[in-house]
Amino acid sequence: MKVIVTGGAGFIGSHLTRALVEKGYDVHVIDNLSNGKKINLDPEAKLHQIDLRDFSKLKPVFSNAKFVFHLAALPRVQPSIQDPRNTNDHNVNATLNVLLASRDAGVKRVVYSASSSAYGNQKKLPLRENMEARPLSPYGLQKYIGELYCKLFSDIYGLETISLRYFNVYGPGAPTEGAYAMMMARFLIQRKNSEPLTIVPDGKQSRAFTHVRDVVRANILAAKSAKVGSGEVINIAGKKNHTVLEIADMIGGPKVFIEPRLEPKHSLADLSKAKKLLGWEPKISLEEGIAELRKLHGIS
Ligand SMILES: NC(=O)c1ccc[n+]([C@@H]2O[C@H](COP(=O)([O-])OP(=O)(O)OC[C@H]3O[C@@H](n4cnc5c(N)ncnc54)[C@H](O)[C@@H]3O)[C@@H](O)[C@H]2O)c1
């Protein structure tokens, strides 16, 4: 069975690609390799080095595909503040192209990687899918627009879609360097290099860290569940939230405190919809996930 993973050479996409190959799917990856790397890719997957902004190139790849997992994006807040038009092209226009190509090719279902950044700051926790979206950055808004497009395509064209809102994904292979480095991956490298961990701004903000293999499982359930396909939005998150200081303590070593960023203070997800509609719950606790990463990075 042919499936497409956009952004399959990236952090989450490469884990998903591997899992789909292991399950025997004929996996086609579309990635322009702007942030993804060929080396991440399972050798059994077929790479189409295409930019999703170029609609004319998509048709032949989408032909006969049953499921499309749409992960490609420029997925960071800061670049979207610096150049919102460029990130809009990758995050919104490219998503529209994926939906159009899926509709035209008769794809069964599109599973869209959405983001908890759609919530922004909310008065109450846990974050529930029916809360009003209040994105704080162009990135958050662009990911939210993708959800709305998915729902609209289900409503008006009958294309099955589902949006999974991930909360801070971590795990092996997360980018460790440069502007795209994620907090946990950066901490591990700093610890390994005996440098202090850089905490922004006081480390008291909390996040529902989600292991990448739990995210992969959610994607596969989302493609198959008979209970979804009408543009549902579903939280995919770790069970508990942890402060940045707690994470730093689990990794160990000295800390330094740096300038604040535009980000919500706390996040914690209500997971009842994921359980009800997908039969999904996170399986990997943060303690287990970090222990695995410490081992991988040779931190005793
Ligand atoms: N990592 C997280 O914590 C997190 C949290 C919430 C949501 N998400 C979403 O999950 C998805 C995957 O995130 P990730 O962390 O694996 O990011 P990533 O940057 O590692 O992967 C994205 C991939 O998309 C590719 N890409 C970007 N623009 C493209 C284009 N126009 N055409 C073709 N390929 C293009 C990049 O080369 C890269 O390989 C994104 O949609 C992101 O918004 C991630």
Task: Give yes or no for a contact between 190 and 255, defined as CB atoms under 8 angstroms apart.
Answer: no
Per-residue model confidence (pLDDT) at position 266: 84
Task: Give yes or no for a contact between 223 and 69, defined as CB atoms under 8 angstroms apart.
Answer: yes
CA of 300 to the centre of ligand 1 (A): 31
Tens of pLDDT along 210-261?
999 999 999 999 999 999 999 999 999 999 999 999 999 999 999 999 877 7
Q: Which CATH superfamily is domain 170-207+241-266+284-296 in?
A: UDP-galactose 4-epimerase, domain 1 (3.90.25.10)
- Of 250, 254, 253, give the one whose Cα is nearest residue 291: 250
Residues annotated catalytic, as ranges? 139
Tens of pLDDT along 266-292?
889 999 999 999 999 999 999 999 999
CA of 6 to the centre of ligand 1 (A): 8
CA of 74 to the centre of ligand 1 (A): 6
Residue 128: band (very low, low, confident or very high) from pLDDT cuts 50, 70, 90? very high
Ligand 1 atom 42, closest CA: 75
Q: pTM of the entire structure? A: 0.95
Query: Best mutation site among 17, 31, 38, 50 for ligand 1, i.e. most ligand atoms within 8 A of its Cβ?
Result: 31
Q: Which atom of ligand 1 is nearest to the CA of 76?
A: 43
Q: Which atom of ligand 1 is nearest to the CA of 40?
A: 39
Residue 177: band (very low, low, confident or very high) from pLDDT cuts 50, 70, 90? low
Query: What is the three-class DSSP state of 154?
Result: helix
- Of 88, 90, 147, give the one whose Cα is nearest residue 116: 147
CA of 62 to the centre of ligand 1 (A): 19
Tens of pLDDT along 185-197?
889 989 989 999 9
DSSP string, 244-296: HHHHHHHH-S-EEE----S--SB--B--HHHHHHH-----S-HHHHHHHHHHH
Task: Give yes or no for a contact between 94 and 72, defined as CB atoms under 8 angstroms apart.
Answer: yes
In which residue are the tokens 């440098």 written? 195
Mean pLDDT of the chain: 94
Ligand 1 pocket, residues with Cβ under 6 angstroms: 7, 9-13, 30-36, 51-53, 71-75, 90, 94, 113, 115, 143, 166, 168-169
Q: Which atom of ligand 1 is nearest to the CA of 53?
A: 31
CA of 96 to the centre of ligand 1 (A): 16
CA–CA distance, 241 with 201 (Å, rounded to integer): 18
Q: At what angle do helices 244-251 and 183-192 cross, to 10 degrees?
A: 30
Ligand 1 atom 41, closest CA: 71
CA–CA distance, 158 with 63 (Å, rounded to integer): 18
Give residue limits of the domains in the chain.
Answer: 2-169+210-238+271-277, 170-207+241-266+284-296
CA angle at residue 35 from 33 to 141, to 5 degrees? Answer: 115
**Residue 261, both tokens:** 């960023």
Tens of pLDDT along 45-91?
999 999 999 999 999 999 999 999 999 999 989 899 999 999 999 99
**Residue 299, both tokens:** 């931190």
Q: Which atom of ligand 1 is nearest to the CA of 116?
A: 6
Residue 7: band (very low, low, confident or very high) from pLDDT cuts 50, 70, 90? very high
In which residue are the tokens 């707690």 written? 246
Task: Give yes or no for a contact between 117 and 139, defined as CB atoms under 8 angstroms apart.
Answer: yes
CA–CA distance, 42 with 281 (Å, rounded to integer): 26
Peptide bond into 282 cis (omega under 30): no
The CATH number of 2-169+210-238+271-277 is which of 3.90.650.10, 3.40.50.720, 3.40.50.300, 3.40.50.2300? 3.40.50.720
CA of 113 to the centre of ligand 1 (A): 9
Residues constituting the chain = 300
Task: Give yes or no for a contact between 269 and 209, defined as CB atoms under 8 angstroms apart.
Answer: no
